[in-house]
Structure 1
């Protein structure tokens, strides 16, 4: 179902109920689709949540690979005497 934002203001509770029931609710602005109301799961699956947290922790624990030292990165600009070339 499509409904304008202006009309939806007075029917928000009913639109939320319909979206929770599985209806496709799209809010339009100036005749163009702007927003879709979709339900959020009431309870997150514990197993998938733990798997996601473990992946995030592992990613955070991984250290970046060391790159080349920046100590001598500009040496090509200077001669053996230390003066600019």
Structure 2
């Protein structure tokens, strides 16, 4: 984890914030001891992981057999609204 002294953090705060926005965590030190940590508010998004999940869902849908009665999801939703 990258570290920055207080003076360095004060002088380059904007640059540190840009690094944090990209997902880094930065430790602020005073006399070599950690005193604070700057962390992103939201975890970084893993685009490749999301794409893999979508691909897995699409593969699963190919393997799932259609409803034996020939009903669609929309049909089941409409039936549920009637009762």
TM-score under structure 2 length normalisation: 0.46
Which is greater in Rg? 1
TM-score under structure 1 length normalisation: 0.45
